[in-house]
Amino acid sequence: MTTIDAFIAALPKAELHLHLVGSASVPTVLELSRRHPGSRVPSHEEELRSFYTFRDFPHFAEVYEAVNSLVREPEDVATLVDGAAADLAVQNARYVEITVTAASHQRVGMPMREITEALDIAAARAEHEHGLRVNYIFDIAPDFGIEAVRGTLDHALQEPPANLVGFGLAGTEQKRAPLRDEIRDAFRAARAAGLRSLPHAGEMSGPETIWEVVEHLGAERVGHGIRCLGDPRLVAHLRETQIPLEVCPTSNVCTQQVPDIAAHPLPRLLEEGLFVTINTDDPPMFATNLTKEYKVVADTFGLGREQLAELARNAVRASSLDEQERKALIAEIDQVAAEG
């Protein structure tokens, strides 16, 4: 029987919760920083790693925005996808849904068509060079205001990349309330156009945020969702409906949503019979990757091979792959699990 580390390395994986800018590895950020000098982002590796030490979520958001400011041209967008694909491929990842905050690229003057072309080119390159299937989610960032809501929807409906599968909602949860009606309208239009509803909720605020996306946005998955445990009725609803949760353990520690990994609610989520997937969120910023996330939950919570394999299957089941593709990838996971 292989070691648990070897088992995790061999396990075919799918990543459902990965932000494009947050996926930028240290070498990628350094490349962008040198390509666009004069930003607040350090251009030396040691300083950059120190830059990624977060006091809290608002500080993380500041750092994220600083890195985002380096993405100024379509070539930069493609560079980010290329880097994420290369990083995932070496971890035996076969599929990823990358969340793109299109409005942030529009704000620096990139035309929608050029952003879309860059995403299309990079997705094709990832499949050709790495055998990695890349799909995209466009997310609304309420931090950018009403224009971002409209701009994101316009982009998703008028100039979507070929692999756009979902419409999301991220950013600071506490800033959503003033835009509630506009956000609901945008999701209604996106869903009518065939996009899946894939919003974040219950990361930095309570169960009411999760109820909002479930009841009013038609959420098919919930990004994070860890605050659901504060409401037994919500837990029962999530258990009954089996709406998947995109759990990102190390992210929650680094942004201080939980005090340390041992205090993470993952074991309770599993005990409650909820549909859990394991993801990274913004891996280089949190000094992690998808393989490490599986390892940390195995080491911290004593999860065995079959539990880890089931988490990997869950990610495939919750993905936007078609049924035939899901079955094929689950069969690969089953084979690794059987070999132990």
pLDDT score of 1 more than 80: no
Q: Determine whether 203 is an active site residue.
A: yes
Segment 267-288 mean pLDDT: 96
What total of structural domains would you count in the chain? 1
Segment 186-191 mean pLDDT: 98
Whole-number pLDDT of residue 32: 87
26-35 helix and 74-89 helix, angle to the nearest 10 degrees? 160
Neighbours of 90 (CB within 10 A): 11
- Active site residue: 203, 212, 220, 246, which one? 203
Segment 250-259 mean pLDDT: 94
CATH number of 144's domain: 3.20.20.140
pLDDT tens by residue, 166-179: 999 998 899 999 99
Whole-number pLDDT of residue 83: 94
Whole-number pLDDT of residue 306: 97
Whole-number pLDDT of residue 237: 98
Residue 14's pLDDT band (boundaries 50, 70, 90)? very high
253 vs 270: CA distance, rounded Å: 19
Residue 30's pLDDT band (boundaries 50, 70, 90)? confident
Among the listed ranges 44-58, 143-157, 178-192, 317-331, which one has the minimum average pLDDT value?
Answer: 44-58
Chain centroid to Cα 307, Å, comes to: 22
Closest Cα partner for 309 from 324, 290, 330?
330
pLDDT tens by residue, 222-242: 999 999 999 999 999 999 999
Segment 19-32 mean pLDDT: 88
Backbone phi, psi, residue 199, to 5° = -85, 155
Neighbours of 177 (CB within 10 A): 11
pLDDT score of 295 more than 90: yes
pLDDT score of 340 more than 90: no
Whole-number pLDDT of residue 37: 82
Alpha-helical segments (H) within the chain? 4-10, 26-35, 45-51, 57-68, 74-89, 102-106, 112-130, 146-158, 180-192, 207-216, 232-241, 249-254, 266-271, 290-301, 305-317, 323-339
Structure tokens at 27: 């070498």
Segment 97-125 mean pLDDT: 95
Residue 286's pLDDT band (boundaries 50, 70, 90)? very high
Beta bridge partners of 18: 98, 281
pLDDT tens by residue, 53-102: 877 778 878 888 888 888 899 999 999 999 999 999 999 999 999 999 99
pLDDT score of 144 more than 70: yes
pLDDT score of 20 more than 80: yes
**What is the rounded average pLDDT for all residues in the chain?**
94
Residue 219's pLDDT band (boundaries 50, 70, 90)? very high
Give the domain extent around 78.
4-339
Segment 124-153 mean pLDDT: 95
pLDDT score of 36 more than 90: no
